Amino acid sequence: MIARLKKVYEEKIIPEMKQKFNLTNRFQVPRLEKIVLNVGLGNAKDNPNLLKSVVTEMTSITGQKPVVTKARKSVASFKIREGQSVGVKVTLRNAMMYEFFDRLVNVALPRVKDFKGLSPKSFDKFGNYSFGIKEQIIFPEINYDKVNKIHGMDIIVVLTGKNRELSLNMLKMMGMPIREK
C-alpha cells in the first residue's frame, strides 16, 4: 500500500509545482530522498541505561532500529575516548520516510509548546532542510512515564531539489509548518 503523503505528492504537488514554476519535466520537482534523525548523548558514558532507553525510544518513533554512533577520536576536554558511544541515528527512506514525515507534520509538531512554525532559513547550500526538536515527548509513541531523561534530536530532510525556493515551496505544499519571513 502506498503512503498517503506520497500519493498526495504524486497526484497533487508535482502538477502544481510544474505549472507554478514552468518546469518541463516531473523530475525537476524536488522530492524527499531521505530523513535522518540524530540524537547526541554526550553523557551516555556515565549512564549506560540512557543509551538503551534512547535506542528504544527512537525505534518506537521511527519503526526502525537506530545505529549507535561512536566517537572517532579521543577528546580530553569532553572526557570522551575513541570508540565510546556518543549518540544514535536513524536514516529513513521510501515508505517509512513518508509515514514518519506525515506523523511529524500532522501530529508531533503541533504538540510543541508555543510553536510558531519552523524557520525558512534552515536550508543548507544543497537544498536540504534541517531543524532541531528540544523534547522527544512530542511524539505520541513515547510514554512519558517511561522516559529516563528528556533529550532533543536533530532532523534533516534531504531533498533532491538544488533550488532553495523550489524546495521551500515543495515542503510547504507537503504540510511542513514553515513560517513566513
Confidence of residue 92 (pLDDT cuts 50, 70, 90): very high
Question: Could you tell me the pTM of the whole model?
Answer: 0.86
Query: Pairing state of beta strands 32-40 and 129-133?
Result: unpaired
Segment among 25-29, 120-124, 146-150 with least mean pLDDT: 146-150
Residue 36 has what pLDDT? 94
Q: Which residue has the higher pLDDT, 160 or 137?
A: 160
Q: Which three cell numbers mark 87?
A: 549518540
User: What CATH number does residue 150 fall under?
Assistant: 3.30.1440.10
Helix (DSSP H) and strand (DSSP E) numbers for the chain:
5, 5
Residue 89 has what pLDDT? 92
- HEC string for 59-116: HHHHCCCCEEEECCCCEHHHCECCCCEEEEEEEECHHHHHHHHHHHHHHHHHHCCCCC
- Position 76 in a domain: no
The pLDDT tens digits of the residues spanning 124-136 come to 887 788 988 888 7
- Position 83 in a domain: no
Whether 1 shows a pLDDT value over 60: the answer reads no
**Total number of domains constituting the chain:** 1
- Position 88 in a domain: no
**DSSP secondary structure code for residue 138 in this structure:** G
- Position 19 in a domain: yes
DSSP reduced 3-state for 132: strand
**Alpha-carbon distance 178 to 181, whole Å?**
9
Average pLDDT of the residues in 64-83? 79
- Position 82 in a domain: no
147 is in which domain, residue-wise? 4-38+54-68+93-116+124-173
**DSSP secondary structure code for residue 157 in this structure:** E
Confidence of residue 45 (pLDDT cuts 50, 70, 90): low
Confidence of residue 91 (pLDDT cuts 50, 70, 90): very high
**Torsional sign, CA 140, 111, 178, 21:** positive
The pLDDT tens digits of the residues spanning 16-37 come to 988 988 888 888 888 889 999 9
- Position 85 in a domain: no
- Position 154 in a domain: yes
- Position 8 in a domain: yes
The pLDDT tens digits of the residues spanning 164-176 come to 888 888 888 888 8
